[in-house]
Chains A and B, each alone.
Chain A
């Protein structure tokens, strides 16, 4: 069974290093999402796995077999492209069959597979149409179908939903997830959309500047971001990051935020390496973890009372943005509160529980 391993992988274009010493292991049946801003190297990595881009150094193995210098067709992969890349001169049926042409399968096997994929994706009524006569969502299904009929163990997706509108995107997201649950194949999926990553992945590799910043389950990268980049990249609105200074009193550890004068009690935080007195740190707090107004029990690690800059209600939740003195602090609030917070000179009392902090060293920007 295939397990994909990237070992010391490097990609350079001339004097530009796109990927540097990348190591990554994708277990069998996993749904790996490569997530990152554009230009982070995620698509290059996928194309190297597919064999469409040459490797500068390092090796790629699939199921124990070194495929680094293998032709794309010999790697046992199927791929769904961003623009679908359907063959425009062929009908839907022709597209599904054409990909199998090189495998020289018996005719009834081809028909069987094509029918199976068409049923699974509900594209049976479209079989005689040309790609130009299909809607975006239908093209997407055909593209997935063309990958499915190849009956391989590893599927690659290159931003497959980016050309669809918001509603279709949600639909197809669920559908791809369902396919993965049913077929149990390994999937490597590239996207810049964190919602796709958080909802579909069994594991996420967050990339930036050609380096994997964090690799873990969706919950893991959300709750325990490895560094500042991941903390800021995942979540909308993103995690609040404020600069603070460590102050130790007895066996307690505090982080003092100068601008608001608040001291945050980090004694319950599980440091990997305990900071010294006077160290500069960044303290991260997710907007939805704040305790608000009357719900504050007094046992929280930090309490603020801050002026409201503005409050908004974009959907089922409300957000309030508070002035902490230096940084803005985003807080999730009940929609009912938004009206009150929009009054001039409104202030809000918030507190943060002791088990939800993320703390980063100010100079290395890594989690401590």
Chain B
């Protein structure tokens, strides 16, 4: 009896998780895809546009705002990669210096505990042209200082990127630091005995050893960028004009502001495809890594 009982219980315990996965994830994705082919506006309307099946997607690809969103996505991914770079450099220095490691890590990481909305509000305040950093620089004597980036559509994204780098740098630092600490102490000692220069040691040994950490960081970063919404809203409200829209911003705007559920769904589904395109390498990579580990263990 007991055996039968314990055969059932674990399966019963998994029912809620399975239902959630089936309904809220798999089902909802299918639902979104379905809505993207329907005439839904503010409220769902399950009539499919048979006569013009790809209507929402054609509209989407011709929408200059979607173009902007995709361009910003690429631009932001590249710009935010600075967070990984800084994170790595800081991790190397913190790890090398040891003194004050805990304090530095605590300081570098605290922005992560702050919400994007709060982060955006603070940075918008600092970018304020009349009362913010620009004013401070001018008073210091830099007459030509221009820090009013958010008001210019060419620099607004840079402003957002600075805030994102500030927010996320500590996260990548923490990941890199744990990567560096996972390298066997004796390898550092061997390099010391061999008299290998730090540059050679980092470029030829450490960075290649951490390539999985770097890849993980890069993928997490791009997935984060795809979802970027709050900080853009708080800093620029999508502006000036629509110049700082992101895919996530586009979806929420199409749904909540323009009240077009079908259109929002088509953009949302594109977001999923972008995510999968980024995500697929990670899956393959982990598979490969598991295999490699298995081989090494032999």
Contact = CB atoms under 8 A, between A and B. Distances in A.
Interface of A: 47, 50-52, 71-74, 77-79, 81-85, 87-90, 98-103, 132, 146, 150
Contacts of A77: 193
A89 B208 CA distance: 6
Nearest to A94: B204
Contacts of B209: 88-89
B184 interface: yes
B143 interface: no
Contacts of B197: 102
A82 B208 contact: no
B189 interface: yes
A79 B186 CA distance: 10
A101 B196 contact: yes
Given A85-B184, A87-B205, 19 more contacts: A51-B192, A51-B193, A52-B189, A71-B195, A72-B189, A78-B193, A81-B189, A83-B186, A85-B186, A87-B187, A88-B205, A88-B209, A89-B204, A89-B208, A90-B205, A98-B204, A101-B194, A102-B195, A132-B292
Given A83-B184, A83-B186, A101-B200, A89 B193 contact: no
Given A85-B184, A132-B296, A79 B195 contact: no
23 contacts: A50-B189, A50-B193, A72-B192, A72-B193, A72-B195, A73-B192, A74-B195, A82-B186, A84-B186, A85-B184, A85-B186, A87-B205, A88-B187, A89-B205, A89-B208, A90-B204, A98-B196, A98-B204, A101-B200, A102-B197, A103-B195, A132-B295, A150-B194
A85 B189 contact: yes
Contacts of A50: 189, 193
Nearest to A53: B189
B190 interface: yes
Interface in B194-241: 194-197, 200, 204-205, 208-209
Given A98-B204, A101-B200, A132-B296, A85 B187 contact: yes
Contact of B192 (A52, A82, A87, A103): A52
Contacts of A73: 192-195
Contacts of B193: 50-52, 72-73, 77-79
B289 to A, nearest CB: 12
A88 B296 CA distance: 12
Interface string B228-262: 00000000000000000000000000000000000
A311 B222 CA distance: 70
A82 B295 CA distance: 22
Interface in B44-59: none
Contacts of A74: 195
A74 B193 CA distance: 8
Contacts of A102: 194-197
Given A73-B193, A101-B200, A81 B205 contact: no
A115 B296 CA distance: 27
A84 B296 CA distance: 15
A358 to B, nearest CB: 39
A185 to B, nearest CB: 16
A223 B186 CA distance: 37
A79 B195 CA distance: 12
Interface string B167-203: 0000000000000000010110110111111001000
A47 B186 CA distance: 11
B190 A79 contact: yes
- Nearest 5 A-B pairs (CB), nearest first? A73-B195, A102-B195, A85-B186, A89-B208, A99-B194
A309 to B, nearest CB: 44
Most buried by A among B190, B195, B197, B204: B190
Nearest to B298: A135
Interface string B52-90: 000000000000000000000000000000000000000
A102 B196 CA distance: 6
A330 to B, nearest CB: 39
Contacts of A79: 189-190, 193
A101 B199 CA distance: 13
Contact of B190 (A81, A89, A100): A81
Contacts of A132: 292, 295-296
B122 to A, nearest CB: 42
A79 B184 CA distance: 15
A82 B192 CA distance: 16
Contacts of B189: 47, 50, 52, 72, 79, 81, 85
A85 B196 contact: no
A81 B186 contact: yes
Contacts of B190: 79, 81, 85, 87, 99, 146
Nearest to A83: B186
Contacts of A78: 193
Nearest to A100: B194
A101 to B, nearest CB: 6
A132 B189 CA distance: 20
Contacts of B192: 51-52, 71-73
B192 to A, nearest CB: 5
B182 to A, nearest CB: 12
Contacts of B194: 73, 98-102, 150
Nearest to B189: A52
A50 B296 CA distance: 31
A248 to B, nearest CB: 57
Contacts of A150: 194
A151 to B, nearest CB: 13
B197 to A, nearest CB: 7
